[in-house]
Amino acid sequence: MSRLHVVSGKGGTGKTTVAAALALALAAEGKRTLLVEVEGRQGIAQLFETEALPYEERKIAVAPGGGGEVFALAIDAERALLDYLQMFYKLGSAGRALKKLGAIDFATTIAPGLRDVLLTGKACEAVRRKDRLGNFVYDHVVMDAPPTGRITRFLNVNDEVAGLARIGPIHHQAQAVMRVLKSAETAVHLVTLLEEMPVQETVDGIAELRAAKLPVGSVVINMVRPEILDAAAVDVAANGRRAAVARALSDALAQTGFAGADRAGLVEQLVDPLVEQAREHTERVALERRGRAEISGLGLPTYELELLGDGVHLAGLYRMARELRKQGVAR
């Protein structure tokens, strides 16, 4: 069976970007990866600077190092339901008639649980699929999943369906999906930032996943900013020692050739804003260190990706993939 990587995270943490970078990293060394989108936002197409993805698996990238391939699929719940009706009930033309009548849209809208069953089922079908020679079509399937707040319910919905439909194809399909989702070949990765709310949501999300006996993989800390000040500067800023900052600034200006009164005037203009910026930086560093400590306490593999100063683009995506491989994500 292929490996399934489910990527979730609080909104704004960059989970789609991390899922795309992970797909690239896993496809290195000649591997084939399928990147699956389930939220209908066409975020993958935007990241890879390509046209909107249709409801079919399409090659979108060649991975760095070894020529592996990344395919992508934007799952449409309505189309997935038609596939499902054809697969289990042979309702090809009847299913299309139901779509024209609006029954498919009605079913997937009023029954969000059904929608999640279809989305997870389609991804798990890709995990299990083999070619004519009996080899798995993909080495890895990466799912850009819903946010952390609903990831456990999203993945566990098939358990509920299997309990409600105790016999028949729906029951067996739900059981098959849960066997994939709870297998050793599946891992749920959570993306976070070093900020209070994302870290807390990550901690809570992992507790929920573990309680549901879903396989937790790793934590990816995204958009990590560098620590600009060294330890001594942080100590000065943390204690608000304005005089020390003023002396350091005055000495630095002296080395540039500024003299006397002009230098003193510049110090007065610059020192307070610099002290305030240093204080804010120090507070952020302290917050990030507490966040790292909380994440470390989870006992999970952790990877860090730096903040891309020029924004997320295709070159940056490849850079993130190389960094994930460097940190050992594909081993």
Say which DSSP state 136 is in: B
DSSP symbols for 195-253: SHHHHHHHHHHHHHHHHTT--EEEEEEEEEPP--S-HHHHHHHHTT-HHHHHHHHHHHH
Q: How far is CA 252 from CA 5, 197, 227, 246, 248, in A?
A: 51, 39, 21, 10, 6
- What lies within 8 Å, CB to CB, of 124 at 6+ separation is 4, 176, 177, 180, 181
Whether 141 and 19 have beta carbons less than 8 Å apart is answered as no
Residue 29 is predicted with a pLDDT of: 83
Residue 157 is predicted with a pLDDT of: 82
Q: What is the pTM of this model?
A: 0.83
Residue 264 is predicted with a pLDDT of: 55
Query: Closest Cα partner for 249 from 209, 285, 278, 221?
Result: 278
Q: For residues 155 and 175, what is the distance between their CA atoms, to the nearest angstrom? A: 12
Q: In the Cβ-directed half-sphere of 71, how many Cα atoms lie within 13 Å?
A: 18
Say which DSSP state 51 is in: P
Query: Closest Cα partner for 177 from 113, 118, 108, 90?
Result: 118
Stated as kind and residue range, the H or E segment containing 321 is helix 314-326
Written as tens digits, the pLDDT of the chain (331 aa) is 789 999 999 999 999 999 999 999 999 888 999 999 998 888 999 999 999 998 899 999 998 777 799 999 998 877 777 776 665 555 454 445 444 444 445 444 545 567 788 788 889 999 999 999 999 999 999 999 999 999 999 999 877 665 555 555 666 777 888 899 999 999 999 999 999 999 999 999 999 999 999 999 999 999 998 876 666 665 665 565 666 666 665 666 556 555 554 555 665 666 667 666 666 777 788 899 999 999 999 999 999 999 987 778 899 999 999 999 999 997 5
